[in-house]
Structure 1
Amino acid sequence: MYESFENLEEQKKINIINAGFKVFGENGYQKASVDQIVKEANISKGSLFYYFESKKNYYMYLYDYCAERMKLLIDDPGEDGLPAYIQKTDFFERLDAIQKLKMKYAITYPHITEFMKKVIIENSPSIKNEIQSYNLKLIKERFDHFFYKLDLHKFKEGVDPKMVMQLLIWCSEGCASQLYMKNRLDPSIERASPNFQEILDLYNSYVELLRKNFYKEEYL
Structure 2
Amino acid sequence: MNEKFFTLSQEKQDRIVNAAFRCFAENGYRRTVTDDIAAQAGISKGLLFHYFGNKRTLYDYLFQYGLQFVGERLRALYDWEREDLFAVVLRSARVKAEIVREYPFIFRFIMNAYYEEHGETGERIKEIYGDVVKRSVEQMMQKVDWSRLKAGADARQLLNVVIWCAEGFMLERQREGTTGDPDCLCRDFEAPMQMLRDAFYESEPSDPI
TM-score range for the pair, normalised by the shorter chain length: 0.5 to 0.7
Task: Give the equivalent residue in structure 2 for 1:190.
Answer: none
Q: Which ranges of structure 2 fall in alignment gaps of 5 or more residues?
A: 180-184
Aligned length: 194
Equivalent of 1:6 in 3, 11, 26: 3
1:210 aligns with 2:196: yes
Amino acid corresponding to residue 116 of structure 1 in structure 2: F
Task: Give the equivalent residue in structure 1 for 2:182.
Answer: none
The 8 Å contact of residues 169 and 189 in structure 2, kept in 1 or not, is answered as yes
Amino acid corresponding to residue 162 of structure 1 in structure 2: R
Displacement after TM superposition at 1:118 (Å): 4.7
CA distance in 2, matches of 1:137, 1:216: 32
**Equivalent position SS for 2:2:** helix
Amino acid corresponding to residue 113 of structure 1 in structure 2: P
Displacement after TM superposition at 1:149 (Å): 3.0
1:15 aligns with 2:12: yes
Structure 1 runs (4+) greater than 6 angstroms displaced: 127-130, 198-203
Q: Say if 1:23 and 1:48 are closer, same or farther in 2 by CA, change over 3 A.
A: closer
Q: Say if 1:90 and 1:173 are closer, same or farther in 2 by CA, change over 3 A.
A: closer
Greater length-normalized contact order (CA 8 Å, ≥ 6 residues apart): 2
Q: Say if 1:88 and 1:22 are closer, same or farther in 2 by CA, change over 3 A.
A: farther
**Equivalent position SS for 2:137:** helix
Task: Give the equivalent residue in structure 2 for 1:169.
Answer: 163
CA distance in 2, matches of 1:22, 1:44: 13
CA distance in 2, matches of 1:128, 1:170: 21
1:54-83 CA-to-partner distances (Å, cap 9, x unmatched) read: 424422321321221222222249xxxx73
Q: Which stretch of the first structure deviates more once superposed, 60-69 or 18-27?
A: 18-27
Q: Say if 1:65 and 1:196 are closer, same or farther in 2 by CA, change over 3 A.
A: same
Q: Which stretch of the first structure deviates more once superposed, 155-164 or 132-141?
A: 132-141
Displacement after TM superposition at 1:153 (Å): 0.3
Amino acid corresponding to residue 194 of structure 1 in structure 2: R
Amino acid corresponding to residue 38 of structure 2 in structure 1: V
1:42 aligns with 2:14: no
Task: Give the equivalent residue in structure 2 for 1:99.
Answer: 93
CA distance in 1, matches of 2:188, 2:117: 25
CA distance in 1, matches of 2:35, 2:107: 21
Q: Say if 1:56 and 1:73 are closer, same or farther in 2 by CA, change over 3 A.
A: same
CA distance in 2, matches of 1:16, 1:197: 25
**Equivalent position SS for 2:175:** coil
Q: Which ranges of structure 1 fall in alignment gaps of 5 or more residues?
A: 180-192
Identity among equivalent positions (%) equals: 17
Task: Give the equivalent residue in structure 2 for 1:182.
Answer: none
Q: Say if 1:166 and 1:61 are closer, same or farther in 2 by CA, change over 3 A.
A: same
1:145 aligns with 2:139: yes
